[in-house]
Amino acid sequence: MQNWKVTPAEVFAASPLVPVMVISDLEQALPMAKALLEGGISVFEITLRTPVALDAIALIAKAMPDAMVGAGTVLNCAQYDAAVAAGARFVISPGMTPALLAHAAKGTAPLIPGVATASEMMQALEAGYDHIKFFPAEANGGTKALAAITAPLTQMRVCPTGGIGPNNVADYLALKCVATVGGSWMLPADALKHGNWAEVTRLSREAVELVRR
């Protein structure tokens, strides 16, 4: 499946929120994506943590061509290729390896590598990556740590993910380095279990309104 290419900056600019979607049941893929879209979110990170993840990417990318569908939890080159083949327009990893960085640099979808330290940010920069994921954000010191780490690395654009919700998302978005934030609070387990898509839409709308204040 071929998609038009986007840049890392375009991925980050597309939405102040990137929902982290763990799809275990393929039948939930489209209803989940549509509920998020109705709430004002059109960028989707579908994690490769389940057997149906690639099928979900392909399904949503085909049914919702105006949305920006990406793959998360990509750990190696083979997964990068599989995600792109399924229709992912961007790829996110919880970490980074030299092999994955080099492979994605020649690929058709931008990679957002995961980092947790200043040294890892410097390694990403050396490989040509200035749009990164700070993960896990809260466990690594939250906004104070991220502000301190990026102070001498002002060229970095960051998507913090991990432990972020309604109570602290505004604090992250207030940082100069932060362009967008990843989270899953608009996808509570109970709502997914019972197919309560109206609740997902409501929480998505609230999240969008919160970050636009």
Residue 38 annotated as catalytic = no
Sign of the alpha-carbon torsion through 181, 138, 129, 121: positive
**Which residues partner with 100 through β-bridges?**
none
| Alpha helices per DSSP H over the chain | 8-13, 29-38, 53-63, 77-86, 98-105, 118-126, 142-150, 169-173, 189-193, 197-211
Query: Which of 34, 62, 133, 206 is the catalytic position?
Result: 133
Say how far apart CA 172 and CA 107 lie, in whole Å: 30
Residue 45 annotated as catalytic = yes
Q: For residue 7, what are the CA distances in angstroms to 10, 83, 108, 130, 195? A: 5, 17, 10, 11, 34
SS3 of residue 158 by DSSP? strand
Query: Which of 10, 34, 45, 62 is the catalytic position?
Result: 45
Contact 1, 61 (CB under 8 A): yes
Show which residues are catalytic: 45, 133
